[in-house]
Amino acid sequence: MIGTLLGKRYKILEQLGGGGMAVVYKGQDTLLNRLVTIKVLRSEFTSDEDFVSRFRREAQAVARLSHPNIVSIYDVGEENETYYLVMEFVDGDNLKNLIRKQGTVPVLQALEFAGQICDALEHAHENGIVHRDIKPHNILITRSGRAKLTDFGIARESTAATMTQTDAIVGSVHYLSPEQARGEMAGPTSDLYSLGVVLYEMVTGVLPFHGDTPVSIALKHIQTSPVPPSSLNPAVSPDVDKVIGRAMAKKPGDRYQTAGEMRAGLNVLQNGWTADVTRVIGRDEFATRLMSVGKELTWVKKVKKRSYKWLWAVLIMLILFGGAFAALQLYLNVPEVSVPQVEGKTEVDARNILKSYSLERISVSYANHPTVLKDRVISQEPPAGNKVKATRPVALVVSLGPDYRTVPDVVGLTEAEARLLIGRNEFVVSEPVQQDYSSEYAAGMVMAQEPRPKTQAAKGSKIAITVSKGPPPVTHTVPDLTGLTIEKAREELSKIKLVLSDEISKIPSRDYLPGQVVKQEPKPKAEVQEGTVVRITVSDGPGPAKRLARIEALIPADRNDHELKIVVKDVRGSTVAHVDTYSSGERVFKEVPYYGKATIQVFIDNKLAGEQTFG
């Protein structure tokens, strides 16, 4: 569809990707001169009228949403049974690819991304729209670090039969809420469950549930509790565990009930507080109590006996308060240090550098990485440059080196099929995709790849593919059409499979007769591809004036009859002006017309007897 103009406005520039239900293209809004994203519904869904009508209604509903963390829908249309959505173009990448590249997302950044998606869901839920397909593939991260939610409502329309057609759709089972896994209706808390799974994957680099089949994964969502994220990544605090655990509660009633409530929980973590900061004091504690007169008199009597038990109690309280105050001062007076940059350092060097800055509490986790060398630090938390207390723990993620995978064979597949297979094997396509001519592979098919199939390459590394543009073009030399009529010019071009343009210009000319070709583009002798359109300009008159030339011819005196032929070569081309048979020794006089400059030739018995130039 590259080059197609939809709705007489949206031009498709290149394919960005595709899923089980739609193909996504980068396009241009020719009216407003801006880039857009165009999602085209796959042809197998266009024949289902009920599906198409629900798709259109859903798209129109989402088009009403307006939020900085939601990819805006500009237009929805249909042309020649092609149904499409026109959306905001986001210059960035999806969150899934970000996780693949980095291994894990730093905890604070992950909390920020999740918070922004909460903002998007709060806006959608308030407008009665439930996303139903929250996953990192549907979260775009701009170059400035803003998270934007996309693909609203389309996954909702997929049937059980659709769920088994492509890995792109089946992959969503990793993020399904328990109620969705049971086939029940999804609500706002279902989106929050899926967001909890996404947050789990961001901070650990892995999904909470795995299985051999989609059914086995769905059952784990229903029955199994995930491993706490902190056990997989020491940088994850117990408080982060609690937020993820609440979002992923099996029962909808045990989860956050609104996206705003979950956003508030994330804000608490980002601000460095826990949920137990404020302690409510019971009404009976330290309350003023009224004592009976009898008891008060008894207490006076004991004082008169000089009991010193109360003095010991006061001393103990003073000691305890003094110790607490000293501990508080010790905590508050811990010096602040600027966290050094240790990313890219070896683990040993990183530890030594941190300790030289008085940062002694260091935890280390290990993960594969496609580009960071083994034993080198992939990421650190807190990031370099942050001001922290010297007692603040520092979490490092150290590379185990690349996780090598077998490169799939994508030669002979379409570009869309190749992208899906490369992604399924946890590689990425090198952009931009190269194109070349091929006599062996049809246009749109992958003709070459690097690395080669069946070799080993690091998980997440790039695979370069070359897509065929079809057979090499055939070239021809443009003939000289000057002086030809329009029909004669069309005939000459068709002989070498060139095309005469229907747009023919006219200009006044005294050198060429009306209707004759005066000039052409491309010019004569230019090398062009087969099928090239040639534009011509013809004379609109008046053309050269008609003139007469007096021709004298002497027939050979040999007692035989002879044929006399007079040929005129002028602006009209080559014209036989006269032909007849004459007796031996006869002298013939003829007047022949010509236009412009002309060469007149005399033939006797088809042999040139003489020629003369006129004009």
Q: pLDDT tens digit string along 9-65? A: 999 999 987 766 778 999 999 999 899 999 888 877 777 776 677 667 667 767 778
Q: How confident is the model at residue 313 (pLDDT cuts 50, 70, 90)?
A: low
Which residues fall within 8 angstroms of residue 589, CB to CB, at 6 or more apart?
A: 550, 551, 552
Q: What average pLDDT does the segment 82-106 reach? A: 90
Helix (H) or strand (E) holding 139, with range, is strand 139-142
Confidence at residue 99, expressed as pLDDT on a 0 to 100 scale:
92
CA 61 to CA 59: how far, in whole Å?
A: 5
**pLDDT higher than threshold 70 for residue 550:** yes
The DSSP call for residue 323 is H
Q: What is the pLDDT of residue 328?
A: 53
State the pLDDT confidence band at 522, using cuts at 50, 70 and 90: very high
Looking up tokens 């060139």, which residue turns up?
Answer: 498
- 3-state DSSP call for residue 414? strand
Residue indicated by tokens 């440059």: 385
Instruction: Tell me the average pLDDT across 187-211.
Output: 93
Q: Per residue, what are the HEC states of 48-115? A: CHHHHHHHHHHHHHHHCCCCCCECCEEEEEEECCEEEEEEECCCEEEHHHHHHHHCCCCHHHHHHHHH
> DSSP states of 560-581 as a string?
S-EEEEEEEEETTEEEEEEEEE
**Model confidence over 226-257: pLDDT tens digits?**
999 998 898 899 999 999 999 999 999 999 99
The string of pLDDT tens digits covering residues 400-438 is 888 888 999 999 999 989 998 998 888 899 999 999 999
Q: How sure is the predictor about 297, in pLDDT bands with cuts at 50, 70 and 90? A: very low
- pLDDT reported for residue 20: 62
Inter-axis angle of helices 107-126 and 188-204, nearest 10? 170
Mean pLDDT of 559-588: 93
Residue 299 has pLDDT above 60, yes or no: no
Which domains, from first to last, does the chain contain? 5-88 (3.30.200.20), 92-270 (1.10.510.10), 336-399 (3.30.10.20), 404-468 (3.30.10.20), 475-542 (3.30.10.20), 546-614 (2.60.40.2560)
- Identify the pLDDT of residue 520: 96
CA–CA dist 166, 3 (Å, integer): 27
The predicted structure's pLDDT at residue 321: 65
Cα angle 311, 315, 319 (rounded to 5 degrees) comes to 170
Does 393 sit behind a cis peptide bond, omega within 30 degrees of 0 on the bond before it? no
Q: What percent of the chain has pLDDT over 70?
A: 86
pLDDT at position 193:
96
Residue bearing tokens 């939610």: 149
Predicted pLDDT at 308: 54
Catalytic residue positions, numbered: 133
Q: Tell me, what's the pLDDT at 316?
A: 72
Give the model's pLDDT for residue 284: 33
Q: What's the confidence (pLDDT) of residue 461?
A: 86
C-alpha span between 248 and 227 (Å, rounded)? 12
In this prediction, residue 599 carries a pLDDT of 96
Q: What is the pLDDT of residues 430-470, one digit of tens each?
A: 999 999 999 999 999 999 999 999 999 888 889 999 999 99
User: What's the pLDDT at 304?
Assistant: 43
Q: For residue 247, give the H/E element and its range.
A: helix 238-247
Residue in the block written with tokens 């959608």:
124
Lowest mean pLDDT among 159-173, 210-224, 436-450: 159-173
Let me know: does 120 contact 65? Beta carbons within 8 Å. Answer: no
- Mean pLDDT across the chain: 84
What is the predicted pLDDT for the residue at 44? 75
Q: Which helix (H) or strand (E) holds 216?
A: helix 214-223
Residue 260 has pLDDT above 80, yes or no: yes
**Are 228 and 241 a contacting pair, CB within 8 Å?**
yes
- Are 86 and 29 within 8 A, CB to CB? yes
CB 18 within 8 A of CB 165: no
Q: Which residues have C-beta within 8 Å of that of residue 221, sequence separation ≥ 6?
A: 176, 177, 178, 181, 209
- Structure token digits, residue 579: 């032909």
| Residue 273, pLDDT above cutoff 70 | no
**Residue 524 pLDDT level (bands cut at 50, 70, 90):** very high
Average pLDDT over residues 564-579: 93
Query: What band does 322 get if pLDDT is binned at 50, 70 and 90?
Result: low
Is the pLDDT score of 293 beyond 90? no
Q: In the prediction, which pLDDT does 370 show?
A: 72
> Do residues 506 and 515 lie in contact, with contact meaning Cβ atoms separated by under 8 Å?
no
Residue 215 has pLDDT above 70, yes or no: yes
pLDDT in tens, 326-355: 555 544 566 889 999 999 999 999 999 999
pLDDT at 507 over 50: yes
Query: DSSP string covering 479-540, please?
Result: P--TT-BHHHHHHHHHTTT-EE-S--EEEEESSS-TTBEEEEESPTT-EEETT-EEEEEEEE
Strands 475-477 and 92-94: unpaired
Asked whether 390 and 338 are in contact (CB, 8 A), the reply is no
